[in-house]
Structure 1
């Protein structure tokens, strides 16, 4: 497992289910019902999987600025990662959800931001695991003693001031990851103001996967991003910095390594309006 992988199949995970280096994390969550993911996990999950909650574990409390899902306190997150047995550089983390990788990709990105490259998402998510015929359980694993020491890669994230400075530069592309109608301001079900950041182009995050939550092939990902291959930087945002991580994963699969997250995203941007 020395080679960096961004995605693993249900078959791969089944074959490595009891490897001591593999740590599985259930990231299921519902924006409409924040308790649902935890409830689903307690009812059934992949054997050995731990649960990390978008609001409680993978985000900080909401403030005046910073968006609806501010980045978590990194020391607290590191402690939580240690408590589920993740060792820096040694553990191979597999994250899954049931939302076309929306929340699993948040953990994938956070771990890479913390300098831990040995992390992948489960292709097809929880449904893909079950469709493949593999068993689930309701047994909650015991805490483990890992040692996670974050080595923050600061250049992977940008703030509103950086976006303002770069939004009109010819070699920097600003990508809005939301659905087209939200990008165009025709519909806004969550935030108080509709529209998009001036200069942004629209690449809806759902287009990185098919309807069942399986990622497009690397060749298809490259085709998806071919117009942006020459960009010096690709600054990616969504509503709150969560689903944008699916596009950042897509960029990596396309062999484009210039993606950066505007963590506060649209909900941060409009907090200054």
Structure 2
């Protein structure tokens, strides 16, 4: 997979907009205003880009347990990718957002989970594209038939029982990807209980990029993970299994490929807790 770039520049993408082997996906989203990303897409987006919504396309309906953004129905997502013209292991999918990879990395991880390695993120996202004066449009592309066949990589994801039984074993590291205040339980703006999973160490996902949303260098990513690079297994979570994917991207950039996603994340974990127990 080393010949497939994880990050591509706006300039590179601008030079390949007409390439039939590339499908672009706009993943802009706001947790505070779930319709904002779609409205932004309908106003302006990269020419040829399709839109995938975190709630509607990249997640399945919320239940009592399983977290705020359960993994999507795999077959339905495969059908959507097929309708966009994606061919398994042939088409390069380029995803972008305006949230420092916070939502585009979810699609990146999902495609890898579904067995599709040819996926990259746009460095700097939408803001970088606009700042470079590259073309934008409000035109909605017409999909051309593709053929996306799922080759599920089940070991890439873990559930709450796996986390419970493995998190304290030698050689296993549990990563909390949220900002320090939420990890420490000083504030919790979304979930009903504050705190973190016992034994987890904190690597905030925002550290993967600079303030402009550009990915830090592979050398910086490797340095960031120096204390866990020799772990046998790394389980990563966040609030709901979305921004944890940015840390999984960072691990991949650092050449560390033993990272796994706890998809339900803290929102799943705390759904089993009573406030009096924590």
Deviation, structure 1 residue 3: 2.2
Distance, in Å, in 2 between the alignment partners of 1:81 and 1:230 is 36
Q: Does 1:132 align with 2:142?
A: no
Distance, in Å, in 2 between the alignment partners of 1:59 and 1:80 is 13
Q: Does 1:66 align with 2:51?
A: no
Quote the residue 1:117 is aligned against. 117
Deviation, structure 1 residue 206: 0.2
Distance, in Å, in 2 between the alignment partners of 1:161 and 1:37 is 34
Distance, in Å, in 1 between the alignment partners of 2:204 and 2:144 is 38
Quote the residue 1:146 is aligned against. 146
Distance, in Å, in 2 between the alignment partners of 1:258 and 1:71 is 20
Alignment of 1:179-218 (within 5 A): 179-218=179-218
Quote the residue 1:108 is aligned against. 108
Deviation, structure 1 residue 271: 1.1
TM-score computed with the length of structure 2 as normaliser: 0.97
Residues 3-53 of structure 1, C-alpha deviation per residue, up to 9 Å, x if partnerless? 221110001101111100000000000000000000000000000000000
Alignment of 1:45-56 (within 5 A): 45-56=45-56
Deviation, structure 1 residue 130: 1.0
Residues 184-227 of structure 1, C-alpha deviation per residue, up to 9 Å, x if partnerless? 00000000000000000000000000011000000000000000
TM-score computed with the length of structure 1 as normaliser: 0.99
Runs of 5+ unmatched residues, structure 1: none
Q: Does 1:29 align with 2:49?
A: no
Deviation, structure 1 residue 131: 1.1
SS of the aligned residue for 1:227 comes to coil
Alignment of 1:160-171 (within 5 A): 160-171=160-171
Runs of 5+ unmatched residues, structure 2: 274-278
Q: 1:73 to 1:105 in 2, by over 3 A?
A: same
SS of the aligned residue for 1:261 comes to strand
Report how many aligned residue pairs link the two structures. Answer: 273
SS of the aligned residue for 2:257 comes to coil
Deviation, structure 1 residue 79: 0.4
Quote the residue 2:235 is aligned against. 235
